[in-house]
Structure 1
Amino acid sequence: MLHKQINDSGDVDDEVTKKRPAAKLLWHLPIIPRLKRLFSNEKEAKLLRWHSEERVIDGKLRHVADSPQWQTIDNKYREFGKEARNIRFGLSSDGINTFGSMSSRHSTWPVLLCIYNLPQWLCMKRKCFMMSLLIQGPRQLGNHIDVYLSPLIDDLKTLWDSGVNVYDAYKKEHFQLRAMIFCTINDFVAYDNLSGYKVKGKKACLGVDSVGVPKPRHSGRLEGHAIVGPKAIIPTHEDVQTAPLVVLKHMACLAPYVNEHMEMLRSTNPNKDDIWYIKTQDKELSRWMRKKIKEIDVDETVKRLGDNPNCRVKSYQGYDINGYTFYTSDRDKKSAVQNSGVTLITSTTELYSQRRETMIKIAETMIKIAKASYYGVIQEIWELDYHDFTIPLFICK
């Protein structure tokens, strides 16, 4: 994963050259194929069951499996605990300088995994470690490390939620392998970056839970939250008409009303072509919807969406939606990573005309509906105020 470059003055350079280092470089080494290879070796597959079949159980603490946390997990997640081959990882990460100097112009963060299923004389041996990620660049990661941990998290979510079908060479059978992060190993500074707890300043606070994970960094703003801005603007008359129309035609709760309006147009104007219906709906839908919500009893959300939003719009340079951060292209120029690109798979309506030579020239309108991928760059981020809630709108090019 190669991102933008930063020149000596600190400005972002979009042009890739061979002279300057990458702003950030991420090496991802998937863990699922390596787990499959471990279980395909009969000797290794047997060792991964050691904690359940060969460990001495006498009340003394010799192995991680003797800890109260191990037993708590077995009791809380019984399906996971019943399968001795399910993997329990220890995750360790910290910043190092591979060039042997204290210079801050380079940062390397390896993300290592150790397997606690193995005997105590093996689980901490270098040959048994798994390097899952290697993050390199001229700057420290700080709290942005969660962006680079995403590939590893995706693998771990797959292993935890559904598992992976694996062949066990020791038992000569296939089984569904699952895995989890049992604990993390890091210093105090890296603990802040990995867990999201505040460990510096007057309000430093460490949360300690027997089992579980800390509160996500994006918690409380999963539905949408502005992060850079704001700036109040008054859109043009054309934009005032277009923005609410986009919301009306893309909200699932309004789909029945949009379809009803289209059927009404077709029944009252039976001899028109499809282009006319589409253009007429774009012109009349907002006005028809405002009238509709006054005639019938509708849900409060539908009522708010059917009415026009506030004419004053807030414009932002950054926005968090469902835990993902989006920037405008202007804001992106000041950042080392790119967050302004968007893609959307949508059903598109293609309109084109075809002339047929007969006794009379007839213009035929052809309509093709197909799924297409839209790629764009965010130019502006608007927040439409519907009084009880707000809806972000990306203006892309």
Structure 2
Amino acid sequence: MDRSEISVAILTNNQHHATRDKQCLVKLNVKSIKVFDDPEDVLESVRQQEVQLVLIDAAVRNMTGSACLRALRKAANTALLPAIMVTPESQLQAVVDAIAAGCNGYVIRPYSLQTFERHLRMAFESMSGDSIETAQLDAATELVAQGRFDEAISEFNELVEEENEAVAFFNKGMDYLRRRKFGKAILAFNKAVALNSMYAEAYKGMAYAYKGKGDDAGFRACLDKSASILAMQDRLDELKELFAEILQANPDAINPYNTMGIDLRKKGDYVGAMHAYTQALTLTPNDENLHYNIAKACIFSKDYDAAMEHLEKAAGLRQDFEEAKRLLAKLRAKQYDSLGVSNGAARSPSGRDGLAMDS
């Protein structure tokens, strides 16, 4: 990051904070610094990529800093624009809300210049892709511009042939968030966004290489792949928001993934529910209620064999788990039209309350 080449926007309704942030940026040799108290005023500069970094305070023109960041990202589609919260708010809910909104750094006032600089550097570095992959993406894009389409396609293919690890980094971010390791959570989420964006850009570039060759089928297929990757990022952002809400409502939850799975299942998102339950199993693999909940999600997605496996596990973990046994008996008899589950509470063998049941 060459600070002499970047432009920074400061969003705050506190002039004292604005002065402090501006002074620090000047000491760090930042090229251009502008202060705004209304996110609407900075939108066009962001859209035109005239701003390379946004600093957001706890409050901006009748909204919280997190709400401001959400509005900014939604209005300008700025997934890769580093946005750092610089705020006196240190409470758990405020930090979690900012991370859910997509902040790329969280600086608590009052701060030292060294702390401020470290967060700026980390935000930029974690939002950028691997230097080799970034150079290859740029080179392939240049090949398209030169009309060397076959060479470009080869370069793009080399980029996307490796597995997209965005979801793996996203899952790490969720786990760090659960464990209140906020700095690590932000870095993991940043890496997930950067990887996903790189893959989407590679497929988009490949699409235009195919278009240059006159291959309309290849063009459409690659554009569809790029769009699906971007849609996945939107979905991950939605899951992050839901997970943050669950953590804020019950910060001491033993297994917040279980609650997330129940919420998603009830919304009809069976794929999302299974993703959440898979994460839940890493925390409490021997909770009978969790296996019951997973079975219910499997039933709604008509994966009856998997449902039976989890119900057998649930019944084995607690001998008096009658609801699991009744549901298992119906599945074994293939009575698929009578698989309704009654409400109820369950208790573990030790007498403590188990995880919440999906009713």
**Larger radius of gyration between Structure 1 and Structure 2:** 1
1 or 2, which has the higher helix percentage?
2
Higher relative contact order (CA 8 A, sep 6+): 1
1 or 2, which has the higher strand percentage?
1
Taking structure 2 as the reference length, the TM-score comes to: 0.29
